[in-house]
Amino acid sequence: MRDINTIIQAREKCYRCYRPLSSCMCSHVRPVSTETKFVILMHPKEFKKTKNGTGHLTHLSLPNSELYIDVDFTDHAAVNAIIGDEGNRCYLLYPGKESIYLNEHPLNNHDKRAVIFLIDSTWPCSVKILRLSKNLQALPRLSFTHTKRSQFQIKEQPEEYCLSTIESTLSVLELLNQHGTERIAQEALEMFLEPFWAMVAYQLQCASSKEDSVRFKPKEAKD
């Protein structure tokens, strides 16, 4: 029989990373300062995924970031204030035919502060957020390509090229660094995913332990 303190910890929540206290990842977060502001738009369903969501970890890792939860951001006061600020040049990280391809083109902000909106959700939910949010539809889009394979071993990605929110953010930071928009130390970039790695390792350990109370369906190997 498990210790009562272990059971209590598993039920209580850390209100920074929004994970159970027994698996809090805050100690693994290595904040990275950026000139670019990041705004994470989280779908309510993603907010409930306390055991494998990376949006909160991304927010904690970026001091110059904000996080908001909704489905339709059309009338969201804080989001509209950021978009309407004349000192900001806002972008949406989302693929599109006319998106700015970050691998080849640096951001031209005209002496304004770059603000990048990130949608944290599953692909179907992100499509719905964009369809409903008229203010986001008007933003210039950013996209990138990569040769990375997601290390999110506890979650099935819809396609091989898909990355989690925190992995996508790292790719963007690396490209911004490459173009001189950011000047982030290489060591900081290398440690950016530490809370993500720790979370995945913890979940894999739970999956192999018969005594642990955390349950999830592990990723199935493809033929």
How large is the average pLDDT for residues 140-159?
Answer: 66
Residue 223 has pLDDT above 60, yes or no: no
Positive or negative torsion for Cα 210, 215, 168, 29: negative
Alpha-carbon distance of 57 to 179, in angstroms, equals 25
Whether 120 and 41 have beta carbons less than 8 Å apart is answered as: yes
| Cα–Cα nearest to 114, from 195, 191, 172 | 172
| Cα–Cα nearest to 61, from 34, 31, 27 | 31
Percentage of the chain exceeding pLDDT 70 = 79
How large is the average pLDDT for residues 71-98?
Answer: 96
How large is the average pLDDT for residues 139-153?
Answer: 75
Residue 65 has pLDDT above 70, yes or no: yes
- Which DSSP category does 12 fall into? S
pLDDT tens track for 177-199: 999 999 999 999 999 999 998 98
Residue 218 has pLDDT above 60, yes or no: no
Whether 66 and 40 have beta carbons less than 8 Å apart is answered as: yes
Least confident of 18-32, 44-58, 134-148: 44-58
3 state SS of 69 = strand
